[in-house]
Structures are given as C-alpha cells and as structure tokens.
Amino acid sequence: MDFLKWGRSPWGEDILIRISWDLLYLSAIGGVLFLIGHALYVRFWPQPVPEKGDAATTAALAARIPERVARHSVAARAFHWVMAAAMFVLLFSAFLPIVGVKFAWVTIHWIAGVILTLSIIYHTVHATFWLDFWSIWPEKGDIEDSRRRMLRGVGQSAPAPRKHGKYPLENKLYHLIILITGLAVIGTGVFMMKRVQTPFFTRNPYLFTDQAWGVMYVAHGLAGVGLVALVMAHVYFAIRPEKLWITYSMIFGWIDRGHYLEHHDPQRWNVARPVPPPPPDEDAAKGRRIAV
Amino acid sequence: MAVIRDVMPAFELFQPANVEEALSLLNRYKSDAWVMAGGLDSFDWLKDRIKRPKVVVDLVGVKELEGVRASGDGLEIGAMTTLTDLVRHPLVREKFGMLLEAAEAAASPQIRNQGTIGGNVSQDTRCWYYRDGWECYRAGGNICYADTPTAMNREHAIFDADRCVAVNPSDTAPALIALDAKMVIRSTSGEQIVDAEHYFIGPGIDITRMTVLKPGDLLVAIRIPGTWAGSQFYFEKVRDRKVWDFPLVNVASVMKTSGGTIQDLRLALNGVAAHPVRLRAVEAAVRGKPRNEQTAEMAGLMAIEGAKPLRHNGYKLPLVRNLVKRAIRGVEGSWTS
C-alpha cells in the first residue's frame, strides 16, 4: 500500500500530489476497531467502583449545588452544533465521491469550510473572553489522575484519582487533537481555495511551488482522514448510554446535581452557591440596641 | 509525458465476438480494461503511452453493435456503427438530417470510415496539457495547467469549469441531445437507459471522466425517438480551419414552428464546457415567441449568461451568441436542413 501519491511536473520533477485514499479506509477501519474494542472493554471488563465521599460532607455540599448545573451557554452550544454540521458536510462532501457517490462536491465543500472557519474564529474569541479559557486545556495533575484511573481501570490498585474539573481529561485531549487537525485542514484549505473558483480569490495555482502545494494537499488529506476516525469516536461516545448526560448537556445546557456530584470535583469546578451568612443573634442584637 | 509516438506498451488484447463476452471481459478487468471502438482516439493514447491499460477490449468483432435500425417512428443506432454508415443511411437522411450533418462535420471521409458513433460521443477531451500526460486534475493530479495566469487556453471552457477547464470535442453529441436521444448502457448487472443530456458529465461530478460510463459499462446503442423527426434542424460547427478539425464551438437545434411562432425546440452547444450544454433557459424563453430577429437576439444574449471566459477564449462569447442567434433565426445554406 502506498501512503502518498506522487506525480511528475512539466519540469520533470517528482512532486507530491496527495495522500493515498487507502488511508481513508485505514482510518475508518481503525475507528471501527477502536469502537468495538472499547465497547467490549466496557461490556466485559469489571469497571472500577467510584469512590464514595463522606455522606455528611456530600449532603452539605449537595444542598449548595443547584438542581441544574449550567455547563454550556447558548453561545457555546450554538458553536458546537454549527461546527458539527459543517464538519459532517465537509467529511461527506470530501469522501463520498472517493467511495463512489459522485456529485458536484467542490462548492459544497468550500462553503462548509468557510462556515467552519468562521465558527472557529467565533469560538476562539468567545472562549478567550467569555468562558473559563483554561478549563479545557490539560494540566499537570491530569496526568497523575489519568495514570491512577488507567491502573484502576485494568484492575490494579492505585490511589483514587481526583474527580474531574469541568472537563474530563478525555474531553481535553479530544479538544486538543481536534484543534490540531482542525487548524491543519483550515490552514491548508484556505490556501487551496486559491486553486478553485470562489468569489473570494482569483484562481492562481502558481501561488506556491508544486512541492509546497503537494505538502499542503498531503497535510489537508492526512488531517481529513484523521477526522474521520475522530468524528466516529466522538459520535460513539456521544451516544453511549453512560455518556448521554454529557450529550444532553450540549443540547439543553445543563447537567443535573447527581451527575455533577458523581463526576466533578467542586474544588476544580465550583458551581456551589455561596454559604449564606449566619442568621443574626437576637440577644446580641438586643444588647447592641441597649448599649446604644 | 508524450514523447514516444511509435511503439505501444504491451497489453493483453481481447476481441470478443458478442456483447456478452465483451461485458464479461469488462467486468473481469474493470478499470484495467480499455474499450476500443474505431481506435482513432485509443491509438493516440496508447502510442503516446499516456494511458497504459493492462487489457484492451477491441469491439470490432461485435457485429450486433453495428447498424442503424428503425425503432418505432425513431431509430436505434448500434454504438459501433461507423460515421460513414450513419451518414449514408437513408432513414437518418430522411428523418434526422441534422445528425447526418453533425456526423459528416466530425471528420474526414477516411476517419469517418473507421470512427464510430459510440466512439465519437465517448471520446476524451482534446486539452493538450492533459493529453501530454501532465498530472492535471483530469489525470488524477491536483492542478489545471490550462487555467493558470500563463496558460494557453484558447480552446477551453467558458461554462461550468470546476477546477478542470477542458471541453468536450464531440460533434454528434449536441445533435443527439437536441434530438432527445437515449443512450443504452449495459453491464453484467443489467441495462440502463440514460438521456443523452445526462450521458455527459462535468468535472464537478467526476473530474476524471467525461461520461457516465463506469468501469465495466459499455455503450451498446443510441435510440432516437421519432418526436423530432422531420423538424426544422440547425447544425453549425465553427473550427479553426476549413478542413477537418475539432470544433471551437458547435450548435444544434431542433424546432417546431406554427405560423411563424416557435412551438417547441431543443438547443445544445458543445466546445464550451466539459460536457455538451443544453440551453434550457433559452428554450423556455423563446418557446411561444415569433421566430424573428428580436427573438434570435434575445436568445443569443441569454445563451452567454453565466459564461466565464479564460484569458484567451473570450472570443467564444460572441461566437456562442451569434451561433445561437443563427440557430433560432435559421439561416439558408450550409449545415441547415
């Protein structure tokens, strides 16, 4: 199997054309195998029992947690679903013609690409200035927590890991890898729009050298086929029964108190209502009045 | 790169005796097989070593694919019917004179003796960047050398370019579209009948093919319904030189009039896009209008709406405008029956 497709330029140079489409099938098969492997693991491997906290502390804390904990604002949810729609259109318009479903895909593809680009610019600004920016980035403590969780996941003993902050490490890593692949397809895709007819640019395939274009096509293709497996995994986890509460939060914007207490660490994601001040002491109040 | 024009690279040659054998071979070898009709385009590709099929399926022995037959009030033309046989056939001459003119305009008598109607409608583009073997979009690459700031693109597309700007060079194709012909395609999985208009595809759909034929498919016949038999036909081909050449632009129209009013018509162009273009908007606009200079003028202007000329083919706009005008107006003399 060849991973790259090479050609020859009119000047006799070997030039990169694109990735081999075998990689598309490899990515899709890899994605399916991962899903099957994970489903079997969850189904047949004994899952670790979550640690139970002190009942009195938990009850006291629960009293301060709202019944519905806001997780995603309307603006954040709107971005997510616009990005998801654009991503599906991009993947289907890119890869259906390769697997034999022929249609005029180029215009659909670049329009979806423009929508994805705009939505990500919006998200970047929104997350930077209006959201808790650092909550989605992996931090040092996540690595130790993850190590403990993995050891316990395969039946070995390890100290209990901390509960998650707003986002589990899996979410953070997924966000990171989507960020990298997304920037790769967008960065290369914007330049590739110089090669097709759009209202934005005058077509000019000589903007870069053949070799540079080849690298750009390969990067675009690699990120694209990578996204096939990544999106498959994302959809899979979104519809797994034990994860549906997270999916619902991306629709309705909130999670319930029970899931919050079960999965999240209030020290790392604090949503508790402030402790009300103690009621005023009546005698002391009287004394003050007498003194006055 | 096209540098050798003498010895063809080796391939396995099959010469089936009937359609079933041909389909079986095409199904067995799929994209490794090259279907050869008259061989006029095929030998160029093979000798230039641009196309290197493992297997060539030569249809010359499949006699059932030859000949013109009456079919109801229309015709059925076998895909291996030579252009000469088509031109000489009395039914074609009597009912569909425009097809005769288009086939006659396609090539010299010697080439018409060898070239087939199936080959003429299924031939590949003449874009020289592509035919020289560069890794362009149509050849599986990621560039169109004909649409760059320095490209020579005088013969290329003004409509529907989607990365590739090559044009379809067939003369019979617009005539068949105007006559509402049906293309009969067979494979081992069965038969499908496709309107001539939809037989041709642009680069947006599949940048490496010019027709709907997939590996394993075979065009076996072309059926022309009697709907337009004996109508008023117009065919005109403009080429660089007054000898046999590929079209810069050609136009074909069929029209029914009553008392000087256009009752119905079909109008198609070729040489302006990667597929022949049926001018549906023009047809709708002139239907019911008097056949006069004003209507022809309007049709000509409408025909070039949406055209996007390249650096060197802007001349195709007035050419299309005037050809469509003439097709609507009707001109006495050559190419008009």
B173 and B79 co-located in one domain: yes
Residues on chain A touching B162 (C-beta within 8 angstroms): 104, 106, 196-197
> Residue B17 belongs to a domain with what CATH number?
3.30.43.10
Q: With an 8 Å Cβ cutoff, are B143 and A213 in contact?
A: yes
Q: What is the domain extent for residue B40?
A: 12-61
B257 and B299 co-located in one domain: yes
**Is residue B3 less than 8 Å (CB to CB) from chain A?**
no
Within a domain: residue B4? no
Within a domain: residue B337? no
Q: Which of residues B202, B227, B252 is at a domain's end?
A: B227
B186 and B108 co-located in one domain: yes
Q: Lowest-confidence range among A65-69, A276-280, B45-49, B219-223?
A: A276-280
B194 and B91 co-located in one domain: yes
B181 and B316 co-located in one domain: no
Give the chain B residue whose CA is nearest to the CA of A21. Answer: B140
Higher pLDDT, B149 or A90: A90
> Residue B107 belongs to a domain with what CATH number?
3.30.465.10
**Is residue B142 less than 8 Å (CB to CB) from chain A?**
yes
Within a domain: residue B1? no
The count of domains in chain B is 3
Neighbours of B211 (CB within 10 A): 23
Q: Name the average pLDDT for chain A.
A: 88
Query: Is pLDDT above 60 for B4?
Result: no
**Is residue B161 less than 8 Å (CB to CB) from chain A?**
yes
pLDDT in tens, A232-257: 999 999 999 999 999 999 999 999 99
Residues on chain B touching A195 (C-beta within 8 angstroms): 142-143, 163
B105 and B206 co-located in one domain: yes
Residue A52's pLDDT is what?
Answer: 65
B206 and B70 co-located in one domain: yes
Q: Which of residues B182, B198, B227 is at a domain's end?
A: B227
User: Quick one: what percent of chain A has pLDDT higher than 70?
Assistant: 90
B103 and B220 co-located in one domain: yes
Helix H, strand E, coil C: the string for A54-114 is: CHHHHHHHHHHCCCEEECCCHHHHHHHHHHHHHHHHHHHHHHCCCCCCCCCCHHHHHHHHH
**Distance from CA of residue B274 to its chain's centroid?**
10
Query: Is pLDDT above 50 for A63?
Result: yes
Q: What is the domain extent for residue A54?
A: 4-291
Q: Name the average pLDDT for chain B.
A: 93
Residue B334's pLDDT is what?
Answer: 42
How far apart are the CA of A191 and the nearest CA of chain B, in angstroms? 13
B309 and B203 co-located in one domain: no
B303 and B197 co-located in one domain: no
Higher pLDDT, A11 or B126: B126
Structure tokens at B179: 């006559």
Chains A and B form CB pairs within 8 A to the count of 54
B109 and B202 co-located in one domain: yes
Determine the average pLDDT of the residues in A63-78: 92
Within a domain: residue B132? no
Within a domain: residue B219? yes
B202 and B306 co-located in one domain: no
Residue B159's pLDDT is what?
Answer: 96
Within a domain: residue B57? yes
User: Quick one: what percent of chain A has pLDDT higher than 90?
Assistant: 56
pLDDT range class, residue B335, cuts 50, 70, 90 = very low
pLDDT in tens, A173-224: 999 999 999 999 999 999 999 988 888 888 888 889 888 999 999 999 999 9
Q: How far apart are CA B205 and CA A105, in angstroms?
A: 7
Give the chain A residue whose CA is nearest to the CA of B141. Answer: A17
pLDDT in tens, A122-178: 999 999 999 888 889 998 888 888 888 888 888 788 888 888 888 989 899 999 999
Q: With an 8 Å Cβ cutoff, are A195 and B134 in contact?
A: no
Q: With an 8 Å Cβ cutoff, are B163 and A106 in contact?
A: yes
CB B282 within 8 A of CB B207: no
Determine the average pLDDT of the residues in B308-332: 92
Residues on chain B touching A7 (C-beta within 8 angstroms): 135, 140-141
> Residue A115 belongs to a domain with what CATH number?
1.20.950.20
> Residue B311 belongs to a domain with what CATH number?
3.30.390.50
The count of domains in chain A is 1
